[in-house]
A and B are shown apart, each in its own frame.
Chain A
Amino acid sequence: MNTAAAIAPILALAAALTVAAPAFAADLTVAFPSAAPQGQIMVAVFNSEANYGGEGQPAQVAMLDVAAGQTSITFDGLPDGDYAVRAFHDLNGDGKMNTNPFGMPVEPFAFSNNAVGNMGPASWERAKFAAAGATTQSIDLK
């Protein structure tokens, strides 16, 4: 196999991404250092209060294979700005956030800034953070 030939398109793609990226770009790392090594963590990154509140889509999503040891994810090249993260730990890997018979979540979840809500999800005000350059959010799922 011709290594140079294999790498060339990737380099080209990387160059294209570099050109396409805004002048100021953030590399956001979301880490879950204390997550139990089982199942998967669903991460959603939002770039506006409206989207975070459910009116629109997340800017980025990822699924971390915690069972295989993946406890962080980096979203490269985000435009600088305010973001908030919602995450939940799908312990049993069924793709759903399981609840108890009274409807309360039984799988760990968390928000950026480790913000806690007030009888509901953490508000944008509590969860938002500014991303610029290399930015890390270390989150404890509870």
Chain B
Amino acid sequence: MTPSRRSFLMGAAALSAAVATPEMVRAAAALNVVAATKADWALATQDVEGDIARQTMRLVHGRAPAGLQGALYRNGPAKFRRPGGSATHWFDGDGMMRAFRIQDGQATLEARFADTPKRRTETELDAVVTPGFGTKGDARARIGSNDDANAANTAVMVAGDQVWALWEGGSPLALSASDLSTRYFVTLRDDLKGMPFQAHPRYAPDGSIWNVGSAGGQAVIWHLRPDRSLSDAQVVPLPRASYMHDFTATNRHVILVLQPWVFATHAMPVTAGLAWRPQMGTQILVLDKDDLSKRRLYELPGFFHFHLGDAWAERDGTIRFDVAASGDPRFAVDGARVLVDGHGVVPGDPAKLALITLRPDGRADMTYSDIVGEFPKADPRRAGLKRSLTAHTSGETRGRPLPTGLAVHDWNSGRSHAFEFGVHQVVEEAVFVPKPGATAEEDAWLIGPSVNLKDGRTELHVFDVARIEDGPVATWQADVALPAGFHGVWAG
């Protein structure tokens, strides 16, 4: 039988018979931990109790660059704990969409929870009951389809006057871009209702969008037109049932990186069914965008990753892309639980940037840098095309979770430039925003928020890509602290 997300969900039904589980005890304990035992970074995973109305942020440093206008939409979990049971994993909190809007030198912030069936059920029960990536859930869950478990908490894409809150195992959830109110789950074609649409769509030079949705040993490859309507969707078989959070693409290829973290048993939560088998190595499946049946498979020693950088193909057919790689999935299993606990030690080492090269003769190699980095982002003008810069979060150290700085790595020169805020800031993913009318890769801003732990406030920073080490050119501060989010997108 081909394992699918549904069969995982269905197979887990038997598990849901338990009423009081160790998970629930752990959740209750998390809820009752007194503030004194919390780590200094615990603000980064605090709960938000309600929507945040639009507020003007205060400029606390520098000034807004001329010509910078637009909105940074960001998604991330913002409600983990409820009296009757809590999410115990960072990836399972309720999605909250943030909008940082910059106009005429001013910045505003608003944030609104995605109004999902999961959140409605759990609000009614005053308990987190829905199984997720690392949260077991319990017998009170109401899951008739995968979108009933959709936390809509991972990423976001712009679609006309909507933004789509993206998760990993279900449909995009359409929200109004103007007030972030929830509209509906997006069905791109009637016969594809509920098919997973993952959180890392890739934008092609022709304006179209590619994405994947995986279910065990198969994946759907989505291709959307620039207006976000469906151009095509095809199901392709995969050589292994591997956990896949991201994929990448060149202008001509879709690239699936199949790590040796594989679905071994039907169990919930998702992490309970996965087995780490590094001896299997990592497989890289390259599909031809023009004919998805044309495929090549490359092999590398096993590594763990969540995030890939945009890929490009060189004239001789060589394909390159970067990855934030680590030795094992301990962060995904245990570290992300420590984050929701709000204290404790995150096991393992932070991810480092590496460059993967796939050669026309079938050989693959992977070159690790010494650069600690996550959330890689690149110039959107060069998506799928040759580039040399990768922007990323930095500063994470062994034992202490979450980044404290931003950096830009130049793969051509091997040079890195970084700005370190210090441990009083939790730095989130920054997006790469081209300067109006400019074309050079470094002619761009990096825009992203942080949680200022000292002030207890969320901040928004603008950096000049060419001078990261100088620090932000502008910083605004909100009068609230939102927990750290995952992924964002710039709407210029």
A contact residues vs B (CB 8 Å cutoff): 91, 98, 100-106, 109, 116-120, 122, 142
B146 and A104 form a contact (CB under 8 A):
yes
Contacts of B16 in A (CB 8 A): 118-119
Given contacts A102-B5, A102-B215, A104-B146, contact A119 B194 (CB under 8 A): no
Does B13 sit within 8 A of A, measured CB to CB? yes
Q: Which of B4, B139, B142 contacts A102 (CB 8 A)?
A: B4
A101 to B216, CA, bound (A): 13
B6 touches A101 (CB 8 A): no
Closest chain A CB from B1 CB (angstroms): 10
A142 to B193, CA, bound (A): 12
**B60 contacts the other chain (CB 8 A):** no
Nearest CB in chain A to that of B5: its residue: A102
- Nearest 6 A-B pairs (CB), nearest first? A116-B142, A106-B193, A119-B9, A116-B144, A119-B13, A104-B194
Overall SS of chain A's interface = loop
Interface bin, chain B: 20 to 34
Q: Closest residue of chain B to A111, judged by CB?
A: B144
Pair A102/B148 contact, Cβ less than 8 Å = no
Tell me the chain B residues, 127-183 only, with Cβ under 8 Å from chain A. 131, 139-146, 148
Minimum CB distance partner of A121 in chain B: B144
Rounded to whole Å, the gap between the CB of B171 and the closest CB of chain A is 11
Chain B positions 191 through 204: 1 when the CB is less than 8 Å from some CB of chain A, otherwise 0? 11111100000000
Q: Please, how many angstroms separate the alpha-carbon atoms of A58 and B461 in the complex?
A: 63
Give the docked Cα–Cα distance between A104 and B169 (Å). 12
| A118 pairs with B141, CB closer than 8 A | yes
**By the criterion CB–CB under 8 Å, are A102 and B13 in contact?**
no
Nearest CB in chain A: distance from B121 CB, A: 8
Residue of A nearest to B11 (CB): A119
Query: Are B6 and A102 interface neighbours, CB within 8 A?
Result: yes
- The interface residues of chain A lying within 8 Å CB-to-CB of B196 are 102
- Contacts A119-B9, A120-B13: A102 and B218 contacting too (C-beta < 8 A)? yes
21 A-B interface contacts by CB (under 8 A):
A98-B191, A100-B191, A100-B194, A101-B195, A101-B235, A102-B4, A102-B5, A102-B215, A104-B146, A104-B194, A105-B194, A117-B13, A118-B141, A118-B142, A119-B9, A119-B10, A119-B13, A119-B16, A119-B131, A142-B144, A142-B145
